[in-house]
């Protein structure tokens, strides 16, 4: 245990940064100055300007740089990305993240202030995962509401997405609504959140559909045309091992630092893209208009 970066042993080669988000930029830069590779907890920084600075610095110093979007690490997430081609070209998706946070959660003042709503604290996980599974998003829009709690921050948002491959998506996110539908409930990932085993995302393609995270697939494998008069056959995925995704992320990062390669870890560039989408959603919620990621001001922090 040391009190500052300057006290870290000289043989150190990498760091995991899990400080409050506004501190990420300065801390990661200090790590880069030491010549360390970095895995920074999501979101990578508070603004696109700071995120771009980290990307440029890592590139110039030729240092590994990753963002901690750990949901990619689960075996079912990796299998979903490999399976999604079986349902043809993606056409659309529908998702719901609805977990009612306990009333005392908001006894802490900062949790009632701008920046602490589900858009800026929970949504980035979903956006990175959807990019990981379906592809890049080019436009987002958001309707927000604070009707249930009456705080300055939103408690619910209805979102729409446009993907680069032509697919469209809709997503409801709320920390005021109670449901069995969320990543945490469906995956049993977080022991502090009650599990349900229910899927919370459905992806429809030209040849079938996929439920997530169970990976239940609906399709026809007999070579005939897939159309509405012919029933789709259900295929259940095998049972996946439950893992600690944070530990798996650290192990993958360590393997990269040892000279390996990895196409599952969220790169700094992927983290930047997830941040841009998150901020685009926040901006759309304020303006009421669709927003492209490249329209987000470089210094916008979402509040």
pLDDT in tens, 256-276: 999 999 999 999 999 999 999
pLDDT at 113: 85
pLDDT at 99: 96
pLDDT at 146: 94
Q: What pairing do the DSSP bridges indicate for beta strands 168-174 and 90-98?
A: parallel
Q: What pairing do the DSSP bridges indicate for beta strands 137-145 and 156-163?
A: antiparallel
Residue 60 to residues 6, 54, 57, 63, 299: CA-CA distances in angstroms?
Answer: 22, 10, 5, 8, 22
Q: Which residues of the chain have pLDDT under 50?
A: none
Report the CATH fold assignment for 72-243. Dihydrodipicolinate Reductase; domain 2 (3.30.360)
Tens of pLDDT, residue by residue over 39-67, are: 999 999 999 999 999 999 999 999 999 99
The superfamily in CATH containing domain 5-70+246-295 is: NAD(P)-binding Rossmann-like Domain (3.40.50.720)
Cβ(219)–Cβ(232) under 8 Å?
Answer: yes
Element (H, E) at 279: helix 268-287
Handedness of CA 257, 263, 268, 269 (dihedral sign): positive
pLDDT at 161: 97
Q: Please tell me whether the peptide bond between 266 and the residue prior to it is cis, using omega within 30 degrees of 0.
A: no
3-state secondary structure of 85: helix
pLDDT at 1: 75
The full set of domain ranges for the chain reads: 5-70+246-295, 72-243
Tens of pLDDT, residue by residue over 156-195, are: 999 999 999 999 999 999 999 999 999 999 999 999 999 9
pTM of the entire predicted model: 0.94
5-70+246-295 and 72-243 have identical folds = no
């Amino acid at each position: 245990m040391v009190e500052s970066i300057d006290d870290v042993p000289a043989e150190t080669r990498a760091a995991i940064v899990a400080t409050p988000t506004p501190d990420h930029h300065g801390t990661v830069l200090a790590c880069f100055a030491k010549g360390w590779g970095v895995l920074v907890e999501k979101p990578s920084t508070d603004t696109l300007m700071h995120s771009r600075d980290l990307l440029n610095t890592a590139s110039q110093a030729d240092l590994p740089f990753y963002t901690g979007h750990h949901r990619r690490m689960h075996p079912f997430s990796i299998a979903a990305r490999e399976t999604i081609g079986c349902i043809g070209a993606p056409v659309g998706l529908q998702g719901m993240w609805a977990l009612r946070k306990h009333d005392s959660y908001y006894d802490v003042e900062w949790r009632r202030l701008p920046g602490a709503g589900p858009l800026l604290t929970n949504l980035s996980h979903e956006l990175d995962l959807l990019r990981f599974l379906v592809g890049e998003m080019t436009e987002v829009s958001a309707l927000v509401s604070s009707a249930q709690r009456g705080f300055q921050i939103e408690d619910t948002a209805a979102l729409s997405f446009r993907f680069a491959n032509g697919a469209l998506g809709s997503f409801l996110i709320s920390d005021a609504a109670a449901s069995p539908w969320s990543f945490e409930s469906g995956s049993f990932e977080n022991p502090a959140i009650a599990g349900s085993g229910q899927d919370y995302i459905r992806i429809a393609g030209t040849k079938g559909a996929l439920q997530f995270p169970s990976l239940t697939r609906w399709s026809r494998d007999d070579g005939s045309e897939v159309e509405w008069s012919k029933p789709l056959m259900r295929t259940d995925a095998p049972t996946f091992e439950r893992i600690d995704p944070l530990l798996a992320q650290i192990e993958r990062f360590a393997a990269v630092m040892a000279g390996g390669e990895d196409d599952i870890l969220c790169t700094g560039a992927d983290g930047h893209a997830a941040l841009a989408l998150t901020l685009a959603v926040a901006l759309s919620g304020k303006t009421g208009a669709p927003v492209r990621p490249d329209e987000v001001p470089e210094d916008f922090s979402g509040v």
